[in-house]
Amino acid sequence: MRRFTILLTIALIMPSNADAQARPRARDIGLVVGILPTGPRNSITDVDGVRVGQATVASGDSVHTGVTAIIPHNGDVFRDRVPAAIHVGNGFGKLAGFTQVRELGEIETPIVLTCTLCVWRAADALAQWMLAKRGMENVLSINPVVGETNDGQLNDIRARAITAEDVKRALESASVDVSEGSVGAGAGTIAFGWKGGIGTSSRKLPQSLGGYTVGVIVQSNFGGVLTMNGAPVGREIGRYSYQNDLGDTALTQRDRADGSIMIVVATDAPLESRNLERLAARAIVGVGRTGGNLSNGSGDYVIAFSTATTGRRKTSSAVHQVESLSNDAMSSLFLAVAEATEEAIYNSLLRATTVKGHKRTAEAIPVDQVVKILGKYNVLHWDKSVPPGRKR
C-alpha cells in the first residue's frame, strides 16, 4: 500500500511538465558559456549511442528523490565494454564500483545516480537487471557503477525510498531526451542555496580539431558562491556559503558549503582510460568556474567514458587493438569538458523548480533577477560578441 501511495502521489505533488518547461535553460536567457559550439541537443546524448533514463520518486513533503541512469551505447555493455576512468575531486562520497573501474579502466554496466543511502539498493537493482538479460545466465561477477549525492534536506533519506522497480524504470525509459532540474536523482538536491538537480550540456569540436563530441550530465548538490560567466550572481542576490559567518547572525546548517556533485562525461573521441582520467579531471575546472569550492563534506566525482568503437573491450577477444588519441590532441577536449560542465550546472539550476521538502523548502533560483544581474555585468550573448577565428 505504501508503494502505491508514493507512485500515486507523484502526479499530485511534483511540478507539472508545463511548470518545468516554463523554466529556461542557460542559452534561453542568453547565457552562452565559452567559445565552442554545442551539439544539436546540447546534451550528453549528443554523443552517439548514449541514452539517459530517469525515475522520480515523491510522497508528500517527505520524499523527494529518484534515479538517473546513463547507458553508454545501444549494444551489450557487459560484453562490449567502454574504456572509462573516474576522477575524485573530493572523496566524501559512496561511489560503488570505483575500484574495479580504476583497476581495469573500463565500465561494464550503465551508470546510475541516486541518493546517498540508496546506493546499495540501486547497485543491487542494477546488477539484478543486468543479470536477468538474455545471455547472462552464466555470469558470476558484475561491477555496477552507482554514484550519489545527499538529498537529506528535502528528502527523508532514512526512508530509503528507492526500489528495484525505480531503477528498472529509469533504465528502461532511457532515450536521447533528457529532462533537467528537479527530476530523477536531482529531485531532492540543493545547489548554492537554491534548488539544484539534473543538468546537461555538450560541445562539438570543429573538424580541424577532430570533430569529436563531449557530453556532460550533472547531479548538482553543492555549495559555494554562485558565479555565472564571471558575474557574481550569488553575491548580488545575497545568498552564498558562510554568509551568516560573515554577518552578525548565528551560523546555520543551511548556509554551509558542504554538498556534492556527480558528473558523468561521455565522448566519442577514441581515448584510453589514462587520457579519460585526464579529461575527467578537467570537468572540475567547470565546477570551479561556477563558484564551487569542493568543501570537506563534498563528494565530487567525475566518471568519464569513450563510446568510440575502436576502443571497446570485447570479452570475446583476448587481444584488444585499440585506437587512441595522442596527448597533444587532448587540449581541445579539456576545453570542451570544462565548458560543458559549467553550462550543465547552470542548466540544473535554471530548470529546477521549487520543492517543499522534508526539512526545508528549496526555492528555484529567480530567473528574472539572474537575467538582470547578468545584464549588469555584460555577460549575456557572448556568442554574438566573440569575433570568428582568422583564416590562415
Distance CA 376, CA 370 (A): 10
Distance CA 14, CA 382 (A): 35
Backbone angles phi, psi at 86, to 5 degrees: -130, 130
Count the neighbouring beta carbons within 10 Å of the beta carbon of residue 257. 19
Of residues 216, 219, 222, 197, the one with CA closest to residue 337:
216
Backbone angles phi, psi at 320, to 5 degrees: -110, 115
Could you confirm whether 300 is annotated as catalytic? yes
Count the neighbouring beta carbons within 10 Å of the beta carbon of residue 317. 9
Of 59, 220, 300, 306, the active-site residue reads 300
**Count of residues in the chain:** 392
Of 179, 182, 202, 298, the active-site residue reads 298
Detail the DSSP E strand segments found in 105-207.
106-107, 111-115, 145-149, 190-191, 194-195, 197-204
Residue corresponding to grid cell 577565428: 389
- Contact assessment for residue 67 and residue 166, using Cβ atoms and an 8 Å cutoff: yes
Of residues 234, 224, 204, 184, the one with CA closest to residue 348:
184
Distance CA 207, CA 371 (A): 34
Could you confirm whether 260 is annotated as catalytic? yes
Could you confirm whether 59 is annotated as catalytic? no
Distances (CA, A) of 276 to 204, 302, 334, 375: 17, 10, 10, 37
Of residues 381, 282, 262, the one with CA closest to residue 335:
282
Catalytic residues: 260, 298, 300
